[in-house]
Amino acid sequence: MVKGIVAASVLLVLCGTIAWGGYRLSKSRKYQLLGELVTRVETSDMVVALTFDDGPVPAYTDSVLAVLAEFKAHATFFMVGSAIRNNPDIAARVLEQGHEIGNHSFSHAQLILKRPSYVSREIEDTDALIRALGYEGEIYVRPPYAKRLLVLPLYLRNHDRPVVLWDLEPDTYHRKTDGVVRYVNEHVRPGSIILLHVEIPSRVQNRAALPRILSDLQERGYRFVTLSQLMALRAS
């Protein structure tokens, strides 16, 4: 009986360790088991890709477009399929103004512990909505909350598509505008992919930080390009 209790305890600890390891791996910004993971592009060119998640959202997306137009900067908007369906006119304006649209899933649900059919539907339904807007370039995928484990990376690998995250996420570390701006200025490198949540009502500090980030980095000689333009530098 004692041996049985010990064996059960060991099994419980082992299962807990595996579960904890899987959880940590699922949200890793630097590693995944399958497929290609992109967090920045190695380049000496003074370029960065500014990316925004979770739109399009009435009142916020258009205000972001106005700021980008003021600085003649381009960006990549990782959009949620259901939000595109509800706001197609806003999504179309993003493309009309020379920006790029990425796939942030259809429902913005975590894509771990999901069936392959669920994951493929989340990606493909959103792809279809993006194509319906007239977008013809490569559609990059960023999973909600950066969460992925096996099914999504395998699906993307089988379709020759990378998972695209970022190397700078200032609002993870700072909740005030000055901190967000300072973090980007201190950590940016050529080829950085910057994530800013500017289309969520509560992220006032990010919307206030955006023009300051654009101004500061342009003064330092950086250009803001779409993700496709940045990725093209890997082959040059």
Grade residue 11 by pLDDT with cuts at 50, 70 and 90: very low
Say what percent of the chain tops pLDDT 90. Answer: 80
Dump pLDDT digits (tens) for 25-68: 556 767 688 899 999 999 999 999 999 999 999 989 999 999 99
Look up 74 and say whether it is catalytic: no
At residue 19, the pLDDT reads 42
pTM of the model: 0.88
Known catalytic residue: 197? yes
CB 46, CB 221: distance < 8 Å: yes
Amino acid letter, residue 233: L
> How do residues 198-231 score in pLDDT, each as one tens digit?
988 888 999 999 999 999 999 999 999 999 999 9
Pick the catalytic residue from 45, 53, 62, 174: 53
Neighbours of 84 (CB within 10 A): 27
| 76-79 vs 37-38, strand pairing mode | unpaired
* Predicted confidence (pLDDT) at residue 5 exceeds the cutoff of 80: no
Place of tokens 């069936």: 115
Q: What is the pLDDT of residue 14?
A: 42
Max mean pLDDT range (21-25, 76-80, 196-200): 76-80
CB atoms within 10 A of CB 149: 22
The pLDDT mean for the chain works out to 90
What structural domains and CATH numbers belong to the chain? 32-235 (3.20.20.370)
pLDDT category, 9, cuts 50, 70, 90?
very low
Beta-carbon contacts of residue 165 (< 8 Å; ≥ 6 apart) = 29, 37, 38, 39, 142, 146, 193, 195
Please name the residues in contact with 163: beta carbons below 8 A apart, sequence gap of 6 or more.
32, 35, 36, 37, 38, 141, 142, 143, 148, 152, 153, 156
